[in-house]
Structure formats: C-alpha cells, structure tokens
Amino acid sequence: MNSTSRQLVQDIERLINEPVITCQAIRRGHSQQGFRCQTRYNHYFVKVFHNTKALNTELSFLLSGIDNVPSLIAHDSKLFVQAFIDAPLLFDVEQDKIKRLVLLIRGLTTFHQDAQQHVDESQFTRLRMIDALTSLHVPDLLTKQQSFSYHTVLEQALFIDSLDMHSIVCHGDFNANNVFYSDGRFVFIDFEAASLAPAAYDLMMMLSINGYLSSDIEETIRLYNQFMVSAGFSTIDLCAKQLESLFNIATVINGLWYLKKAKDENRFDEYATRHFNQLR
C-alpha cells in the first residue's frame, strides 16, 4: 500500500470509526474516484472528490431522502462513505439492446419523478448548451470533419438556448454504468453532471452515451411520456427537429469529453470517434 493509499485508508477509518481490512479501486460504475472498502462487519463505497461543486451536487441527492440513491454513512469535505450496493450494474444485466433501452428509459423516468418530488432545484445551475460545448472545445484535437460537426452543432445549441424550455433536475450522465438494477429496483449514482435542463436533454444524453442513435428518439419519447403520464407527471412535447438538435448536442459533448480524456489515455480515442460517428 503506497503512502497515498495509506492516507486514504486513515481518512476513511476516521470517518467510520472502524479498521479497514481491504480498500480496492473501482474502475467501472461509481466513477474513477471510487473505492470498495471492507471492514470486519461491513462493505462500504467511498468516493473521493477534488471539486467542491461536484461534492455539493452529489450531497444534494444523497441527503434528499430518495429511496433510489445509496445511503450516506459519513462524509467530510473530500470523502463520501456510502453503503455498498450489492446489485449488478444495468450494463451487466443480461438484456438485448432494445430491452436495455426500455430499462434505461424506465430508470430515467423514475429518476426524474424522484428528483421533482424530493430535490431542491435551487441547488443546481441551469445548463446552457453553448457553454457545455465551448468549455470542452479542443480545436487542436479535432479532425476536419469533427470540427465541421462541432460548429454545426454549436449553431443548434444557440437556437436551443434561445427557446423557453421547461427545465427540471437532470442527471446528465445516465449511462448503464451509473445505474444498478435488481428485481425491478433501480439505484442511481454519480450525480456530478446534474443540472437544470430540459428533460429531453437528459433523454438524448442517455441515448447518446449508451450508444443509441437518433433513429431511437421517437420510441424513446413515446415510452418516456407513457411512463410519466401513468405516474401523473408532465410529458415532453417537442418537435422532431428540436429533439434531434438535443441529441446532436449531447453526442458532441460526449465526443469532446472523450477527446480530452484521450490526451491522457489513448483508449478514449475510440470512444470519441464512435460518438462523432453517431451524428447524422
């Protein structure tokens, strides 16, 4: 165990008042800053934060009283200790792509309903699509075609930002590695990208980040509206052009994010290319 790991374990032990037997990094689900820790009697998930805003966003959900988020055991200004979730990630649940999409839509519907009932919207900033794109722009890393796609989508973002769309608390990163699923129950994690945004943006980000295409938009909106109506919540009423613009924006945001990650790890180049190729 190196000095950093020893310090982390000491900090965890101070928070939970239990000796830690093992502490292993988790590289799937939870995030790159997650650790599974075992004591004599318990398993915990520990998340390390280096950003105060991200920590406060996460805390808003963990203290909201939502049943479908992990139980918070203890925290300080950089660590969260949560109950470990003994369930498979939705990514690992044996489903074909169509059935997984239905589960993703049902899960995001549940998340939106929970957030509207229990989460304080004032704790979140409103997402401007143009800011999300420009903050990730890496012109020296883009190919000629990717640069063309970026500037085309930038115009779409300006148009979307000009509309008076109703916003709700959105997850912002609803991928199958951020959702646990077992026996019909969802548990949601990793709220660092949460913001106030149109519900349709969250759905389009969900489609894009899980590898679906714009051809899946119509069925996704149909199912989402069906699930929301049955629970007494409002539906999405946007034209096909607006929905496709939101899908394109989400897809380029993902592509740019992976390009920036690729500067440190080459394997992310493939993910960036894959997202840019999702554009019509």
What domains can you pick out in the chain, each with its CATH number?
3-83 (3.30.200.20), 90-276 (3.90.1200.10)
Q: Concatenate the DSSP letters of all residues of 29-76 into one string.
A: SS-TTEEEEE-SS-EEEEEE-S-HHHHHHHHHHHTTT-TTSPPEEEE-
Say how far apart CA 211 and CA 174 lie, in whole Å. Answer: 12
Look up tokens 């890393």; give the residue. Answer: 141
Lowest average pLDDT, out of 60-69, 100-109, 148-157, goes to 60-69
pLDDT band at 30 (very low <50, low <70, confident <90, very high): very low
70-82, pLDDT tens digit by residue? 999 999 999 999 9
Q: What are phi and psi of 28, to 5 degrees?
A: -130, 140
Say how far apart CA 67 and CA 240 lie, in whole Å. Answer: 34
pLDDT band at 201 (very low <50, low <70, confident <90, very high): very high
162-167: list long-range contacts, CB under 8 Å, 24+ apart. Answer: 163/242, 165/198, 165/200, 165/238, 166/198, 166/199, 166/234, 167/126, 167/127, 167/196, 167/197, 167/198
Say how far apart CA 76 and CA 92 lie, in whole Å. Answer: 32
Enter the tokens of residue 165.
């769309």
pLDDT at residue 248 is higher than 80? yes
pLDDT band at 53 (very low <50, low <70, confident <90, very high): confident
pTM of the predicted model as reported, rounded to 2 decimal places:
0.92
102: left (phi over 0), alpha (psi -120 to 50) or beta: alpha
- Closest to 30 measured CA to CA, from 76, 75, 87: 87
Say how far apart CA 218 and CA 180 lie, in whole Å. Answer: 26
pLDDT band at 268 (very low <50, low <70, confident <90, very high): confident
**pLDDT for position 4:** 56
